[in-house]
Structure 1
Amino acid sequence: MKKIVLLMILLFVAYAVKAQKEIVAQNIVLPVPIIDSSKIDSFSNICGVIRDMELNCLDKEFAQTENNIWRKLIKIQSNGAKEIKIVFQKFILSNNAIVSFYTDDSLRYQYQGAYFIHKPDSSYISNFLHGDHCSIIIEIPMDELYKNQILISKIYHFTESFNEAIKAATADYSCMIDINCSEGNNWCDQKRSVALYYFPKEGGWIGQCTGALVNNYRNNFVQYFLTARHCTDEVIDWSLTEFYFNYQNSFCNGEDGYLYDYYRVQGSQLVGYCDISWSDNALLLITEPIPIQYNVYYAGVDITNRSAGDEVTCIHHSDGNPKKITSGKIKYFAGPKWDVYWDDGIIMGGGSGAPVFLNSKKRIIATISGGMNYHCNSSLIHDWVGKIKSCMSHSDAMREALFGNTDIVSYEGIDPIRACQSNLNLSGIFSSTHFYDLNLNELTIQANNNIEISSAVFENEANYNFTAGNQIVFSPNTHIQNGANITAKIRPCSGNLVFCGTHYSSGEKALTSTSIGKYDESNMEKQLTIFPNPVNNELTIDNGQCLIKEVYVYDVVGKTIKVFTVNNTNSTLDIGDISKGIYLIKIKTENEIITKKIVKE
C-alpha cells in the first residue's frame, strides 16, 4: 500500500551554548612553523602546512565527571595560522556522545554520535576553524565511554583564510566573475559539478585545486572527479582529500561564500592519469557518498575534434575563492593541449584542474593545466588546457572509466534528482539552499519507489519537498529544527524539474517551472521591494498593496536576531544595532512567507 510513514521525533533545536561548570583545560600550543618557500613547487598552489601530533583525546588526564557525564576540554593553538583544521585518525562517537568545536567562545560546529555519519576508515577532518586556536569540548555518558575513539593525528595550519582570499580577490582582481552573476545563468547545471578540493602533499604541504564531478557512458552515478595531474602527483594520503561542493557566493558579487563550507565529502582514490607531453589530466574516484541534498550534477564529457575559435567556458576556484566563471576561445593547438585566450574574467592559481566546457554542448573537453598569474589590466590573458581526448589513447584506466570499449565520443551530463532513481536512503544535514543560491527557494528530491530518511537534521530555513511513487519513511531519529519547511507527497516523479538545478515541481508551489534558466515569481514577490541593500541602519520594506504582518531577521546559522511586528504594507526597520554581516529576513504576509538576504554594513 502506498503511504507516508511519519515516525519522527520533532525536536526543535536552537544553537545555544550551555552554561556549565568551569572545566580544567588541556592546553596544546604549537610554535609558528618555519616555512621554506624555496622548497615549494612553483606549479603547486600551496595554502598551508601539515603539523604532526599524537593525542588520545579520551585519556584520563584533565578529564572530569559530573552527573554521570565524562567531560574534557582541549585547547589547541597553532601560532600564526589564519585558519586551522583538526585531523582525527579515529573519530568514533557513540549515540549520545557530543563533540563541540569553539573559536573565541563561539560555537562553530557540534556533532552528536546518533547523527554523525562515520567515515569507512573512521578518520575525520574538522571543518575550517577561523583563527589560530580552537577549543574542543567532549561530553560522553559514562556508560558509553568505552564505545568511543577520538585520536588526533595532525593539525592543518592554513596561511590564508577563506575570508582574506575573497577580500584580496575583490580588491586586486575585480574582473573575476562570480558564478551567480548573469554570466553564470546558462551554466546552472554545470556549476553544480565543480568543487574546490584540498589534499596533503609530500613535504608536509596542503594543496588546493579545482575539479569537476563527471558522468560516464554508463550513466550510473559513479563519483568520478576530473582534475589536473600536477595537482595529484604528490598526494600522500588519499583518504584525507576533501571536496567542497556549492562553495560560492549566494548572489552576484556577494562576500558570503566563505561562511558556507557545509557541502563537503572526504576521501578518494586515483583511478588513472595521463601526462604525455604534459597533457596533465587525472581522474579520481570520490569514496564517500555525496548526499543527494548537496544537489550536485555529473557533467558530460566530449572528446570530439575541435577547431580554433571554438567558444569555451571555465568554472573554477582560483586562489581558493568562491566559484568563478571565465569565458574565451581556443586559439592555438599544441599537441595534447590547447591555448585558450580569455575574453571575460581571469584564472589564478588554485584554478588548476578546473573543467573547460565547450559552449555549444556544455560538456567538458579539457582541464586547466597552467598559465601566468594575470591581473585585470593584463593583455592577452590565456592558459594552457589539457585535452581529455589526448588521454584516451594513453590511459587505459581513464578510457575504461569514462568511455569503456565503445565508439562513444560525447555524452551529456546527468542529474541524480532529475533521473528519478528507484530508491533513496537519505541522512546527514539538510541546510538552507539559500546558502549557495539566493534564488533557490526549495529543493525537490524524488524517487520512483521509496525514500527513507534517517539520522537526518533539517536546519532552520531548510525547505525540501520529497516525492515518491510508493513510500516515504522518516525514522524516529530525524530532527527538524524550528523554521524548517518539509513536505512529503506520494506521486510519480516529475519530468518537469527543469529550472537548472533548483528542481521546482510544476503546479506545486508559488514558484512554477517555465523554461531552463527562468522562473515565474509569485505576484507577491514581484511587488516586494527592499532597500537599501547593503544597509547601514534603516531597512525599508514595501509590499505594494499587500499587508506585511511580521518580519524576522536571522543570522547565517539560523539564530533569530530580531522580530518586528508590522501590520502595514510598508515599514522602515531599525537594524543599526546588529553586527556587520549576512542576514536572512523572513517576511510574513497574509498569504505567504518570502525570504530575502541582506548585507549589513
Structure 2
Amino acid sequence: MRWLFFTAFFMMAAAGFVTAQISQGGQPMKVPPLKSRGIPIQVMPEFNHIELQQKTLESLQTEPALKPFRFAVGFDVAISPEKDGLWTSNLNGYDVWQVKIRSEGAFSISLVFQEFHLPPGARLFIFNEIENHFLGAFTQANNKNFRKLAIAPVAGDEVVVQYEIPAGRDHRNDFIIKEVFHDYIGILKTSERRPMGKTAGSCNIDINCSEGDEWQNEKDAVIRIITTKKVTNRTYREICSGTLINNTAEDQKPYIITAAHCIEKNEFAEESVFTFNYESPYCAPLDGDPANTISGSELKAISDSLDFALVELSLVPPPEFRPYYAGWDKRTVYPDSTVSIHHPQGDIKKIAYDSDSPVYSDFANGYTPNGFLKVLRWEAGVTENGSSGGPLFSPGKNLIGTLTGGSATCSNPVNDYFSRFDMAWEFRADSTRQLKYWLDPLNAGKETLNGKRFYTDENLCLAYTHLEEFDEHQNVILRNQGQFAGYWGGSNSEGITEFSER
C-alpha cells in the first residue's frame, strides 16, 4: 500500500489573469517589533457562544424547510485608517497602517469593507500570524464600482488588518471596515471542527467518488456562496450553493443562479463571497482548499415566490478556477432521473442522485403553486443546510432547478424541493423577475442550451491527483524555523505552489 503525503497536484496554465482573483498574493511587510507594540485593538462585544449555537441548532430543527447554513454573527463597526489604528511612517518606502480586531472565542473572523477604493501601489492584508492564515494582497485590482469588498473567513479570534501605501501619499480615506463577522461554528476547522456536531452527514458522497465520474464538467460549475442574512436587528453570515450558468450569447458572462432566500437583495449580492473548486481531490474526506474565491456580485433578477436569484460576478473566473458554465433545459418535461451537486453544511462538494422522476409540487404558503420539482427520495446522497440554491440536473446534464429546501436527511432522504427553471424563465414579465432576459440575450428561443468550458488548450486548467481509492493519506505539516507554515501539497505561507514526482 502506498502512503501519499499530499492532497492534490494541479496542472496550472500560465495566464495573465491576476486581476481576476480576489487577492494578488505576497506577504505583509514586517513592522519592526518596537513599532508594532501597542497596535490598537478593536474588541467586539461579548455574547453567549453556547446560547447562539443552541439557537442555531433549534432553528434547524424547528424550521427544516429552507436549507442555508448559518455560521457567523455580525457586528456593525466603522473602523478606518483615518481615525483608528496605528500608522508607521516611511517603512522601506511605505507608510503602514495596522489595527487588530478581536472577537473573543471566534473560530474565524471575516470582514466587509465599504467605500473601498485603493490607489495604485497600495496593498491590503488581513491575517492571523498565530494561525498562519493570510489573505491578500488586495490592491486597486479589487476596486469595484459599488465600492465594497467582502473577504473570506480568517482563522482565529483575532486578526490584523495591515494597509501599505507608498510613503508620503495621503490616502487615509480609502476604506471603512463596516462589519465584523464572528464565526461561532468553526467553518474552517479540519479537526474538531463544527462544535455543534459533524460536517456533512455520512451518507453524502464526495464529488470525486465513482458516482461523480460522469459529472466532472458540471461539478466545476457548482460553487459555495458565503452571503448575508438579516434577522430582526442582527446580521449573520450563511452558506449556500449556486451554479455558474451559460447564456445563448456564450460570452462568458459570469452569471450565478441560486436561491432567493440565499441572496435576498443587491446589498447582500455585493457582500457575498463565491468559492470555486472547494472539494476533496479524490474519494475521501480530505478537506479542500477554499482559496479560489471571487468577492462581490450584482443582483440581476430575483423572485421570492419562485425562490430563485440570478447574480453577475464582479469578475470573470480565471482559468485556474476551472470554470464550467452549466447548460440548462426549460422544457416542461419530467426527466427520468436527477442529480444534485452541492455543499451540505458548507462542507466540500458532494453529489446526490435520484433514479426516479421528480414531480411538480407546491412548496409552502407564500410560494408559487406548483412552482417546484419534488424529489421523492434520493437513491444515494442527500441535501442538507448549505445545499440551498444548489442545482438539480437532468440526465442530459442541464440545470432544471435550484434547491429551495425540504425535509431530506441521511436517516430519511425524502421530499426535497427545487425551484422550477422552466417557470423562472419568464413567469413574470419584468426582466428583474425572470431568467429569459439574461440567459437568452440573443432572443434565440432555445429550449435547451449545453454547458461550456471556455478555457481550452494552453489556457485549460484541470485538477490532477495520483491518489487512488485505497491509498492511505495525511496532510504533512510544513515548518519554517520550527514554526507552522502550512502543508506540503496544500495551502502554505512559503510560496510553494507546484511539485514534481520521481
> What TM-score do the two structures reach when normalised by structure 1?
0.64
CA RMSD of aligned residues (A): 3.8
Aligned letter for 1:297? Answer: Y
Find out whether 1:554 has 2:488 as its counterpart. yes
The alignment partner of 2:40 has SS state of strand
* Native 8 Å contact 1:554 1:560 kept in 2: no
Find out whether 1:75 has 2:100 as its counterpart. yes
Aligned letter for 2:41? Answer: N
From 50, 71, 81, give the equivalent of 2:74.
50
Distance 1:299 1:391 in 2: 16
Residues 119 and 108 of structure 1: CA distance in aligned 2, closer, same or farther (over 3 Å): farther
Distance 1:173 1:353 in 2: 18
From 256, 263, 266, give the equivalent of 1:232.
263
From 401, 407, 419, give the equivalent of 1:366.
401
Distance 1:347 1:39 in 2: 17
1:594 maps to 501
Question: Which deviates the most, 210-219 or 53-62?
Answer: 53-62
2:414 maps to 381
1:202 maps to 230
1:180 maps to 208
Cα distance, 1:125 vs. partner? 1.9
Aligned letter for 1:144? Answer: R
Amino-acid identity (%): 22
Aligned letter for 2:326? Answer: A
Cα distance, 1:197 vs. partner? 1.0
* Native 8 Å contact 1:229 1:280 kept in 2: yes
Cα distance, 1:293 vs. partner? 3.0
Cα distance, 1:205 vs. partner? 2.3
Aligned letter for 2:144? Answer: K
Find out whether 1:290 has 2:317 as its counterpart. yes
1:408 maps to 446
Cα distance, 1:80 vs. partner? 3.1
Aligned letter for 1:304? Answer: R
2:32 maps to 20
1:242 maps to 273
The alignment partner of 1:297 has SS state of coil
After TM superposition, the structure 1 = structure 2 runs for residues 141-540 of structure 1, keeping only pairs within 5 Å, are 141-146=166-171, 149-164=174-189, 173-203=201-231, 204-233=235-264, 236-257=267-288, 260-274=289-303, 278-307=305-334, 310-328=336-354, 329-334=356-361, 335-340=370-375, 341-359=377-395, 361-372=396-407, 374-375=409-410, 378-396=411-429, 397=431, 398-403=435-440, 405-418=443-456, 444-445=458-459, 533-534=473-474
Would you say how many aligned residue pairs link Structure 1 and Structure 2?
438
Cα distance, 1:349 vs. partner? 1.1
Distance 1:198 1:265 in 2: 11
For structure 2, list consecutive stretches of 5 or more residues without a partner in the other structure.
1-13, 17-24, 362-369, 478-486
* Native 8 Å contact 2:263 2:269 kept in 1: no
Cα distance, 1:183 vs. partner? 1.5
Distance 2:106 2:244 in 1: 31
List per-residue Cα deviations over 1:390-414 (Å, max 9, x = no partner). Answer: 2234133312222464432111012
Distance 1:281 1:343 in 2: 26
Distance 2:298 2:447 in 1: 25
Cα distance, 1:324 vs. partner? 0.8
Question: Which deviates the most, 344-353 or 233-242?
Answer: 233-242
Cα distance, 1:106 vs. partner? 5.0
* Native 8 Å contact 1:197 1:211 kept in 2: yes
Distance 1:220 1:194 in 2: 19
1:120 maps to 145
Question: Which deviates the most, 394-403 or 64-73?
Answer: 64-73
The alignment partner of 1:391 has SS state of helix
The alignment partner of 1:221 has SS state of coil
The alignment partner of 1:369 has SS state of strand
Distance 1:73 1:242 in 2: 24
Cα distance, 1:240 vs. partner? 0.9
* Native 8 Å contact 1:165 1:319 kept in 2: no
Residues 532 and 248 of structure 1: CA distance in aligned 2, closer, same or farther (over 3 Å): closer
Residues 266 and 594 of structure 1: CA distance in aligned 2, closer, same or farther (over 3 Å): same
Cα distance, 1:559 vs. partner? 5.7
Aligned letter for 2:70? Answer: I
2:19 maps to none
Residues 125 and 16 of structure 1: CA distance in aligned 2, closer, same or farther (over 3 Å): closer
Residues 560 and 210 of structure 1: CA distance in aligned 2, closer, same or farther (over 3 Å): closer
Aligned letter for 1:255? Answer: L
* Native 8 Å contact 1:303 1:409 kept in 2: yes
* Native 8 Å contact 1:30 1:78 kept in 2: yes
After TM superposition, the structure 1 = structure 2 runs for residues 81-160 of structure 1, keeping only pairs within 5 Å, are 81-109=106-134, 111-112=136-137, 116-146=141-171, 149-160=174-185
> What TM-score do the two structures reach when normalised by structure 2?
0.76
Aligned letter for 2:341? Answer: I
The alignment partner of 2:309 has SS state of strand
Question: Which deviates the most, 124-133 or 378-387?
Answer: 378-387
Cα distance, 1:60 vs. partner? 7.3
Higher relative contact order (CA closer than 8 Å, sequence separation 6+): 2
Cα distance, 1:33 vs. partner? 3.7
The alignment partner of 1:124 has SS state of strand
Cα distance, 1:368 vs. partner? 1.2
Residues 31 and 400 of structure 1: CA distance in aligned 2, closer, same or farther (over 3 Å): same
The alignment partner of 1:344 has SS state of coil
2:4 maps to none
Distance 1:584 1:251 in 2: 19
From 32, 38, 52, give the equivalent of 2:46.
32
List per-residue Cα deviations over 1:511-538 (Å, max 9, x = no partner). Answer: xxxxxxxx9x9xxx89x9x97534899x
Cα distance, 1:366 vs. partner? 1.0
Distance 1:186 1:288 in 2: 29
Cα distance, 1:177 vs. partner? 1.0
* Native 8 Å contact 2:205 2:381 kept in 1: yes
Cα distance, 1:146 vs. partner? 3.3
1:511 maps to none
Distance 1:39 1:251 in 2: 33
* Native 8 Å contact 1:330 1:338 kept in 2: no
For structure 1, list consecutive stretches of 5 or more residues without a partner in the other structure.
7-12, 419-442, 447-463, 465-500, 503-518, 538-552, 562-582, 587-592, 596-601
List per-residue Cα deviations over 1:306-351 (Å, max 9, x = no partner). Answer: 337x111100011111111111132433222222121111110111
Distance 1:238 1:72 in 2: 29
Distance 1:555 1:291 in 2: 21
* Native 8 Å contact 1:554 1:585 kept in 2: no
* Native 8 Å contact 1:298 1:414 kept in 2: yes
After TM superposition, the structure 1 = structure 2 runs for residues 576-587 of structure 1, keeping only pairs within 5 Å, are 586=499
List per-residue Cα deviations over 1:554-593 (Å, max 9, x = no partner). Answer: 36345669xxxxxxxxxxxxxxxxxxxxx9994xxxxxx3
Aligned letter for 1:307? Answer: Y
* Native 8 Å contact 1:95 1:113 kept in 2: no
Residues 393 and 201 of structure 1: CA distance in aligned 2, closer, same or farther (over 3 Å): same
* Native 8 Å contact 1:273 1:395 kept in 2: no
